[in-house]
Each structure stands twice: as structure tokens, then as C-alpha cells.
Amino acid sequence: MSQIKLGSHVGMAGKEMFLASVKEAESYGANILMLYTGAPQNTRRKEISELNIEAGWEYAKKAGIEEIIVHAPYIINLANTVKPETFELAVGFLEKEIKRTAAMQSKILVLHPGSALDAGTEAGIAQAVKGLNMVLDANDDDVVIALETMAGKGSEIGRTFEELKMIYDGVHKKDRLRVCFDTCHVNDAGYDLVNDYDGVFKKFEEVLGLDQIAVFHINDSLNLLGAHKDRHANIGAGTIGFDPLYKVVHDERFLDVPKILETPWLCAEGETKKTIPPYKEEIARLLR
């Protein structure tokens, strides 16, 4: 039986950069990790040569970590039809991010499909398709872009499996697309993992195919089913609860699919600042 690939989002900072990321993941008992190549809310990035990639991988192999996931910054909005400069920035930055992902020896770049703003879903999807084609048609790396299932807050696209399928339908290099299935987002979008686990994945199979799931984000949700909010909760502390999330982690159909925790950090007793990562305990609990 394959080993479950379970880890969390980790940081990348200081002199050690990627090496620090790997050490953090190891401290949680993780065998996989996800990171941003820089701050998610801006486009400032260090040179690839400064990321300490070689030393990080040397350590990773010894720690039993053989795979990493990169998450694109959420300021990339390929669905923006309103501001041409925002769209151009998104396309240019995504091109560079694919190069960085390949340099970091990752095969999967997770991307939020974007927000349509006032233009409407169809216009947003068409714009995202245009951007993905511009990026992928000009790029031959073997990195796939995993479009994240979204909660549907505001004018986000990708809130339904059908909307993701519409993006697939317009992209030339469909073999370079995959899906990142976020359990919190799916719940907030209205898919009932608690009462209709099999039905949700049956629906996904019908619309896109289960083989398109390249990575899971394992998160509980603070919100009720269909709330379209997107607020993550710690495992077992939200409206999805422990059992459905445990079921995803152990689902035999997805044993080879990486699973990444993005749950909130915790406060020390009497403190208001979140300083304690929950991942070591959550990983141990989910692997029981």
C-alpha cells in the first residue's frame, strides 16, 4: 500500500530559505510540503540562486520528503478584464512562477483561478482562459497548474466543478491543467462532504474526472455549507468535522495525491497572537 502523502504549508525565509522550509516540515512529521516562493501578497521575489534549493533537497531526501508543492501568490488575477495592467502583471508573473516552480523541482503549481470583479463569471472565465493560454503556449516546463476549487466569495470564479471545466475547455494545453481540491472551499461553495461524501466525488468524476485532482488542501471550515465565505478552521473544529477529512486523507482512490494542511495557527494560553503551528498534532491525528 502507498504511503499517505501528508504535510502542511510551510514558510521560506531567512538565510536557509528552502532548507528552512524542509526542516519545518520535518518537525511536523510531514512527508510533503507546500510553500510560496515569496510573500503571497506581493511580487517581490529573491533570485532562484538565493533559494538554497540544493541544500534543501539534500536534507529533504534524508527526511523522507520527496515531493513539494508550490502555491502561486493570490495577487495573481488572470480573470481581471477591468484593469489591463493587472491582467498583464498576472500573466508575466505566472510565467516567472512556473520557472521558479521548475527550478525548485516541483511539478505542481497551485493557482486561484481569479475574480471576475463586475464583469461577470463568463467574462472572467474567458479572461482566465486567455491568460492561461498565453502562459502555457509559451512554456514547455513539465509543471502543471492546479486550479483551486474556490469558495465563491465575491466574484471568484472556480466555485463549481462546472466553472473549472469551462476553463479546461478553453485551454489549449489541457494536459498542463489539474485541480487542487480544497475541502473548506468546496464546503463553502455548497458541496456536502459531511452528508454526501460519495455524491460529491461522483459529481467531480462526472464533470472533470478524479484523475485530475493533483493535490488536496485539507481544511475544516468555520462556515456553514454553501456560505461562500472561505474561513479555514482547525481539523475537527469546524462544520465539516474530523471524520469526512479523515476519510479524504485515507481514501484509497487518492493515496498517491499530496494532501496539504492550511489550518490556522493557535494562540498560547492567555495570548491573542497566533504563534503555535497546529500541524504536528493534526498530521499525527489524521494518520492514526
- Cell matching residue 120: 461577470
> Which strand (E) or helix (H) includes residue 176?
none
d(CA 181, CA 20): 27
The one-character DSSP state at 278 is -
- Cell matching residue 211: 484523475
What's the maximum distance between 2 C-alpha atoms anywhere in the chain?
54
Contacts 24+ apart (CB under 8 A), 59-63: 59/19, 59/22, 59/23, 59/26, 60/22, 63/22, 63/25, 63/26
Encoded amino acid at 251, one letter: D
d(CA 58, CA 214): 25
DSSP E strands: which ranges in the chain? 6-9, 32-35, 68-71, 108-111, 144-148, 177-182, 213-218, 220-221, 232-233, 259-261, 266-267, 274-276
d(CA 55, CA 73): 24
Label the pairing between strands 213-218 and 274-276.
unpaired
Torsions phi, psi for 30 (to 5 deg): -85, 150
Crossing angle of helices 161-170 and 121-137, in 10° steps, is 50
Residues annotated in a binding site for Zn(2+): 71, 112, 148, 182, 185, 217, 230, 232, 262
d(CA 210, CA 214): 9
Residues annotated in a binding site: 71, 112, 148, 182, 185, 217, 230, 232, 262
